[in-house]
Amino acid sequence: MSWKEKRLITILSIILAVLCAAVLVVLSIRYRAAQAAKDQNTVSPSDIAEAAQSEYVALSYSNGSTTLSFSLNEDGVWTWDSEPDFPL
């Protein structure tokens, strides 16, 4: 192998290493931006529970043969309309 071939392989290897480093930097920046956007859009389960609790006062479910109805009483506790003493 001549010195020209060795020099060419060295130059191409350096260019390849620089390009790989650039790709890693770009991917890391995009990953951090995606994580930041995900963190901003995340809603906690307690927020969902509070929203659901404040918006709904009755719920009814029917599967074709049976209908279950639930409602929120004055104390903020869900009760089964057919049997209010049944613990939920």
For residue 65, give both structure tokens: 């043969």
Q: Which residues does the chain have with pLDDT short of 70? A: 43-54
C-alpha–C-alpha distance, residues 83 and 77, integer Å: 14
What is the rounded CA–CA span in Å between residue 4 and residue 24? 30
Candidates 47, 66, 67; CA nearest to 55 is 47
Q: What pLDDT is attached to residue 51?
A: 64
Token digits for 70?
């639930």
Q: Locate the domains of the chain by residue range.
A: 1-42, 45-80
H or E segment and range at residue 11: helix 3-41
